[in-house]
A and B are shown apart, each in its own frame.
Chain A
Amino acid sequence: MIFSYDLLINAIVSGILIGGFYAAVTCGITISFGILDIVNIAHPAFIILGSYVAYIVNATFGLDPILTAIVAMPAFYLLGAAIYQVYYVSFEKRGQESLRGLAFFFGVLFITEVTLVLYFGVDYRYVEAPYIGPALHFGMLDIPLRILVPCLVSLLLIVVLQLILTRTFIGRAIMAVAQDQMALRLMAVDPIRIKRIAFGISIATASLAGAFLIIIQPVEPSVGREYIGRVFAICVLGGMGSLPGTVIAAMLIGIVESLTSTFYGPSWAPAVSFGFLLLTLAFRPAGLLGR
């Protein structure tokens, strides 16, 4: 095989950009799984739901998908809060989250996917926006705007989330509830309310991640499944509850996947994240930035 440097550089840059998008996909899991210890395997299904909301609004009103997603965030927040309430009452309170809670989220994932299939079919859907299509050229480097824009907005999202978690009362309470629920109760804060808010936020990010997804690639209901392994791999590799760790891990996996698909073919890319997941679990379960 002839080795080409511009291929290599292009692969690395697009890996970093895709990694930025992966960070947006994963940050919800970082909050729900990493911080709250709720194994929300249905998260990718909510991302696909976000994609379809962006698609419907874009197809009927021609609105920008990212703008739509930001407007839809409160609705996703409420959805998340409601799901947490059901989860809390049915499983966490009874101490059954490990088996039945997981099965519950699996059922939610399945119901969402099948409902979308029944309603929209398995055709690939896409959105239209001015930044889909053109690309920036720097010498031999090509940067498609459809990947650059989601990456930048996604990094912005992570910064906002990090500020919320470290600077606001609610954010600090969220970090605290992960460490000691009882202590929080003694401070006269209702830990269940804090967890509900945190889970709501985590689902709200799925709205935006869904919009990014449908900007980057056409979407059909089962696309979300590819992301399950990926998001958990990134979350674990990044050190569970750490947002900066999530960004680093997301870019790392983005680069390796991009190199794999450039030099070995795209059909091998899904195996990358699984390899990372197993290696991390086997050798460094605490992740890159884990405590």
Chain B
Amino acid sequence: MSEPAVVAEGLTKIYGEGDTATTALDDVSFSINQGEFVVLLGPSGSGKTTLLNQIGALEGATAGSLVVNGSEIAGMTDRERTEYRRSTVGFVFQFYNLVPTLTAHENVALIAEITGDEPDARSDVMLGKVGLEDRVGHFPGQMSGGQQQRVAIARGIVKDPPLLLCDEPTGALDLETGRSILGLLKSTTEGTNRTVFLVTHNSTIADMADRVIRLRDGKVVGDDVNPNPALPVELRW
């Protein structure tokens, strides 16, 4: 059996100090296998995005351990975190966060440039995978939300990361486009060992997950394996 992709032990994150201290993650523990499609589910303020940020090494933990692919990331230096994000993690955000002055091709190639050779070719391949081969020269302002999110997914996976972290990727999209994006995210893991974490407050989306971790008030209140994940096209919300 291969080693787990992500193992959290007593992971705690507290913002602020003294009277203003807020516990965003409270003694969170779980173990995720490689290649799993994990949905982090919970209401606003439950700590799901904080947990995603911890896995993405966007911020440090207050206490506990977080091991990704065998490496402890909780105590990494800034430089090590940058290197970790570059090599290990791809992000997809709710509002796409594309660079408006760059074309779809360039947005993807920008990240490809810092992670390997032939950025232009890799960018084109990725945009083809997300179905945007005819939009490579378009700027974000010339594309729909769904198309922009596809570019964001291409950007997230162009460096072939073992982890893909998605924060409410369908939050700004209509149902049809949302399902299409979810289908795309699911497909990017097929044939790879890539682990996907998807943050959402939409419990319907949990139906497509291999694994659902439920959070409330910073605690893990549920960690369920879904033996029969639904197809994204079957989802309704």
Asked if A and B bind, the verdict is no
Interface residue ranges, B against A (CB under 8 Å): none
Interface residue ranges, A against B (CB under 8 Å): none
